[in-house]
């Protein structure tokens, strides 16, 4: 749960809370006898016996092949198949040692998968709270048209924290519900900049959806960083 500064159609801002909507589980996986199915991770291979490591140690494929025939160096009976818990991701160098400093890059490809551009990844600052404001742009988009044009990868639900913010958000939901449209929401002073939800996170385009059910409302901020284009 995090706070969000947002403006309405009158450009009046208010601080509300935002969180991922709860996921509804429509089905569950069970074993053949109806028992609970539990996911688990197991060690497939130790890096010390990985193919690249063994090849580097034995110099060539012929010598490595003979070593595998003679002594099975590619099998670690003690560790292979061990159940893993509390793991975390690490980056490795080509020699298998841990890389403690990694320079991330962004690779941009065309629709055919051909690389067009490569540049260093810059960590953007979050711009949705504090002194920053997510602005109601006034640009409405048809729901069906927007869904066909963009791929929504995340969605966040906006919630009130007081009676005043209830009226504030309810009014926004009512406007969008009655026009059956999505409102483009932007960051920056002019409201035309991408939204960065978390520090160093991906920049997104935001589209706000509102629904009403009597006195109840739902406001969902749909986020996208992918646009569908004809090839």
Question: pLDDT means per 10 residues in the chain (231 residues)?
Answer: 90 91 79 86 84 84 90 85 88 80 85 88 84 92 91 93 94 95 92 88 92 95 85 60
How far apart, in whole angstroms, are the C-alpha atoms of residue 155 and residue 20? 7
Residue-level pLDDT at 180: 93
Residue-level pLDDT at 230: 65
Phi, psi of 44 (to 5 degrees): -85, -40
Question: For the whole model, what pTM was predicted?
Answer: 0.66
How far apart, in whole angstroms, are the C-alpha atoms of residue 16 and residue 163? 11
Domain boundaries of the chain, sorted by first residue: 2-22+124-227, 41-105+113-118
Residue-level pLDDT at 228: 77
Those residues with Cβ within 8 angstroms of residue 138's Cβ, 6 or more apart along the chain or in another chain: 9, 183
Helix 51-58 vs helix 61-71: crossing angle, to nearest 10: 110
What is the residue-wise DSSP string for 88-137? ----B-TTS-B-SS---EEEEE-TTS-EEEEEEPP-PPP-SSTT--BEEE
DSSP state of 49: G
Q: How many C-beta neighbours within 10 Å does residue 111 have?
A: 8
Question: Alpha carbon 120 to chain centroid distance?
Answer: 20
């Amino acid at each position: 749960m995090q706070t969000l500064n947002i403006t309405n159609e009158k450009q009046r801002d208010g601080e509300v809370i935002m969180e991922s909507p709860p996921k509804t589980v429509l089905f569950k996986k069970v074993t053949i006898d109806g028992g609970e199915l539990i996911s688990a991770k197991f060690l497939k291979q130790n890096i010390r016996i990985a193919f690249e490591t063994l090849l580097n140690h034995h110099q060539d494929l012929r010598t490595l092949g003979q070593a595998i025939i003679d002594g099975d160096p590619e099998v670690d009976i003690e560790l292979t198949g061990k159940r893993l818990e509390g793991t975390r991701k690490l980056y490795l160098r080509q020699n298998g040692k841990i890389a403690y400093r990694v320079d991330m890059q962004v690779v941009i490809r065309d629709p055919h998968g051909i690389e067009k551009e490569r540049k260093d990844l810059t960590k953007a600052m979050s711009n949705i709270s504090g002194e920053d404001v997510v602005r109601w742009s006034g640009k409405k988009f048809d729901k069906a048209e927007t869904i066909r044009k963009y791929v929504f990868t995340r969605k966040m639900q906006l919630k009130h924290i007081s009676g005043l913010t209830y009226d504030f958000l309810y009014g926004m939901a009512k406007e969008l519900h009655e026009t059956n449209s999505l409102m483009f929401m932007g960051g920056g002073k002019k409201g035309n900049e991408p939204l960065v939800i978390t520090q160093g996170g991906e920049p997104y385009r935001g589209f706000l959806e509102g629904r009403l059910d009597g006195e109840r409302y739902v406001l969902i901020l749909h986020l996208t960083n992918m646009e569908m284009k004809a090839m």
